Structure 1
Amino acid sequence: MRTRKNNLQIRELTLKNGMSFPSDEELVMLVIGSGTKTVPVERLAGKILSVVLSSNPEELVGKLQLINGVGQNKALSIAAALELGRRMNRSPQGTIGEPRDVVPFIKGYAVQSQEHFICITLNGAREILSIRVVCVGTGNMAVIRPSDIFAEAMKERASAIIVSHNHPSGSLSPSDDDIKTTRRLVDASEILGIALLDHIIIARGGYFSFAEHSMLR
């Protein structure tokens, strides 16, 4: 477990070790710079990260401003940093060669205490179009409907999707509901003509790929 550091230490260590050094929470601390008189920067960063991981781009600024200590300027700075990252990831260097290549883009969800179901849409060149949160905290894959997954993919004219969800328990084994949901999504993908490339379960210990285990049929 990493020792908690203040902003000055994080800046110094990042300058020394590079941008891959900070944790996700520490990156947020670097973006916002400081907390408030009543909310330390570490706690504020944790609250911000939780909102970022459970929000889609169009609702992010509004949700961030609901956090005590986050005004319009901070909310816009965070949203702008995320949008820049998304645009950079759409470059050819961010092309998804294999479904598992998407794991680095969603690994932040692995440590979340609530279950997040994610849909990654891809264009014909296998570049990421969007990474969207479909739902949070259901704990029951049976409630996930194909329409929840494919509606945005159709709007974006995506040619393929990868779905993913985290297991807060840490287990990487798919549940019966995970398997049934995946089969429903495969059936829907064949009807709609949008390929389902994989369903990836992520947890602190790694990931489980339905495609790698030949479980998409």
Structure 2
Amino acid sequence: MKRISEVPALDRPREKIAVRGPEALTDRELIAAIIGSGGPGHDVFEVARAIERTLPAEGIPAYADLLAIPGVGAAKASQIAAAFELARRRFVPADVRITTPEDVIPLVRHIAERKQEYFVCLSLNGAGEVVGNRVVTKGLLNYSPVHPREVFADVITDRAASVVFVHNHPSGSPEPSREDIAITRQLLDAAGILGIRVLDHIILTRKNHLSMRERGLL
């Protein structure tokens, strides 16, 4: 097992970034630069290789999947998850305008493969451009409890004119449950008081999606 200090200085990921820029590093080296060190019995490059193999083709790696990797503890799992989430937020194309449910899907595709329900809220300005994209809650296998105050706290800060709600169904069926409809109506009532339009509530699965507005439920 080789420690990072035993690697020649010019081959160490962080030193390579300083000299040649991050674009010169492989994915594994970038991961090694993020985590900085290995764990008991595992050097940094061994851990980075295991993390690289765990990364999904698209989206953000699940914290629990990272935590299951030998040599990865809570700190390293959090570092990787945070790095991916920050990149996702910063590199969403500017001035993304929502006009159809299909415009929303690329912005939330990362939750489609999750084994738990994630509830996401997109904030839009008066021109229909996305100004906020946040996971509000993460819940049980088939239910994510949502409260209006949690949903609209950041929406108000964004000075949003409208919102789009999205949540995933790990079961694979996009059909809205009674709880989905009840939560949506509760959020509609709260949005009406705040003067914020609810454009849609989209249910997302691995293979397809359903618009509650198109279904006539909004």
TM-score (ref. length: structure 1): 0.67
Q: For the structure 1 residues 118 and 80, does the alpha-carbon distance in structure 2 shift closer, same or farther, using more than 3 Å as the test? A: closer
For the aligned residues, what is the CA RMSD? 3.1
Distance of 1:155 and 1:31 partners within structure 2: 38
- Identify which of 54, 64, 76 aligns with 1:68: 76
Tell me if structure 1 keeps the 8 A contact 2:28–2:52: no
1:96 aligns with 2:98: yes
Q: Which residue of 2 aligns with 1:58?
A: none
2:107 to 105, 108, 120: 105
> In structure 2, what residue type is equivalent to 1:49?
P
Higher radius of gyration, 1 or 2: 2
Letter in 2 for 1:90: A
- 1:41 deviates by 3.6
Residue 68 to residue 33, structure 1, CA distance change in 2 (3 Å)? closer
Map 1:1-217 → 2, pairs under 5 A = 29=27, 32=30, 36-38=45-47, 40-43=50-53, 45=55, 49-51=61-63, 66-68=74-76, 78=84, 81-86=87-92, 89-91=93-95, 94-138=96-140, 139-141=142-144, 143-216=145-218
Question: Which blocks of at least 5 consecutive residues in structure 1 are unaligned?
Answer: 1-27, 52-63
Residue 65 of structure 1: how far off its partner (Å): 8.9
Q: What is the TM-score when the length of structure 2 is the normalising length?
A: 0.67
CA drift of 1:121 comes to: 0.5
Measure, in 2, the Cα distance between the counterparts of 1:182 and 1:70.
31
Q: Residue 104 of structure 1: SS of its match in structure 2? A: helix
Change (3 A) 1:193 1:31: farther
Alpha-carbon distance between aligned partners in 2 of 1:171 and 1:165, rounded to the nearest angstrom = 12
Alpha-carbon distance in structure 2 between the residues aligned to 1:131 and 1:31: 29
After TM superposition, give the deviation of residue 31 of structure 1 in Å: 8.7
Q: What letter corresponds to residue 207 of structure 1 in structure 2? A: H
For this pair of structures, how many residues does the alignment match?
Answer: 170
> Cα–Cα, structure 1 residues 40 and 150, in superposed 2: closer, same or farther, change >3 Å?
same
Q: What's the CA shift for 1:205? A: 2.0
